Amino acid sequence: MSTLQASHPFQAFTARPWPGFARVLRRAGAGGAALLLPALLLVVWQIAVERHWVSAQILPPPSRVLETFGELWASGDLWFQLSISLQRVLIGSLIGGALGLLLGLAMGLSRQVEAYLLPLFQALSQVPVLGWIPLLMMLVGIDEALKYLVIAKAVLVPLTLNTFSGIRSIPPSYLEVARVYRLGLLLRLRRVILPAALPSIFTGVRFALTKGWIALVTVELLASSEGIGYLMVDGRQMFQLDLVIVAMLVIGLVGLVLDQGLALVETRLQRWQRQAF
């Protein structure tokens, strides 16, 4: 009897898996499955070069790419080029983001401003960033101003439209309550409009920063002597494809980190909004 009673706590402890532990296992399994195909491609790539199915001059093996990454990291050149690109995307995004937020608020709060600006921004959203680079090069040259303007334009349009959409999708009952309590414009913005529109605004921030990063790499490929995009150009000119691949991987990794980090914040904001409203 005592043995049976002693076994009950252990059975209860092991019969049901811990929710947190089970969640970790599921995520680990999903992550392992996601890494399976890239790992297989790396193995095939390495074997193809070692057996001379593909020339190492045309496609350097993963081992050589990893060696080049280590050399660039140890010398500090990779971090130097990446830091320049991150600084550019930060400054350009702040410029475009501030303007986008202000214009989106103005369009969302005023039908007259919407009538003037919405068709313009809808048209601008159809023109790729690459199409603006030749015009901007003629206007401002190829210095830092070009990079900031290209990034700002890439960030401005999606953030403006998402801010506008978020404000216009606020339930009318929220605004009616604000009118009943006779809240001024600043109080309405701070307590009702911005909290209610925040998930949509942050979706715009996430999309805008992704576009800003892509725009930066594009302009660095075409008109720059520094930055991670220029590192790719330098590798192509010297026919060092291992350098090109390292730059490509770093660009993709930075973009992924930006997107997933902002996606995590966006999820937290949506959860907060559901609790707040």
Give yes or no for a contact between 89 and 214, defined as CB atoms under 8 angstroms apart: no
pLDDT at 239: 85
Give yes or no for a contact between 11 and 3, defined as CB atoms under 8 angstroms apart: no
| 79 and 36 within one domain | no
| 242 and 161 within one domain | yes
pLDDT at 2: 45
CA distance 145 to 140: 7
pLDDT at 5: 46
| 257 and 123 within one domain | yes
Domain-located, residue 159: yes
| 44 and 87 within one domain | no
| 228 and 105 within one domain | yes
| 81 and 12 within one domain | no
Domain-located, residue 125: yes
pLDDT at 32: 63
Please identify which residue in the block is written with the tokens 């159809």: 126
CA distance 28 to 47: 28
CA distance 192 to 197: 8
Domain-located, residue 56: no
pLDDT at 214: 93
Domain of 94, CATH number, reads: 1.10.3720.10
Helices within the chain (DSSP H only): 2-15, 19-50, 62-75, 77-109, 111-124, 129-140, 144-168, 172-180, 185-188, 194-222, 228-237, 241-276
Domain-located, residue 241: yes
Domain-located, residue 55: no
- Which residue segment(s) compose the domain that 36 sits in? 2-50
| 176 and 46 within one domain | no
CA distance 54 to 64: 14
CA distance 97 to 178: 27
Nearest alpha-carbon partner for 168 in 224, 221, 105, 258: 105
| 226 and 111 within one domain | yes
| 221 and 88 within one domain | yes
Number of structural domains (the chain) is 2
| 130 and 66 within one domain | yes
Q: Encoding tokens for residue 274?
A: 């559901």
CA distance 44 to 37: 11
Domain-located, residue 227: yes
| 91 and 17 within one domain | no
pLDDT at 13: 42
Domain-located, residue 102: yes
Please identify which residue in the block is written with the tokens 């399976």: 36
| 82 and 15 within one domain | no
DSSP string, 50-118: HTTSS-TTTS--HHHHHHHHHHHHHHTHHHHHHHHHHHHHHHHHHHHHHHHHHHHHHHHH-HHHHHHHH
pLDDT at 12: 45
Residue ranges for the chain with pLDDT beneath 50: 1-18, 24
Domain-located, residue 107: yes
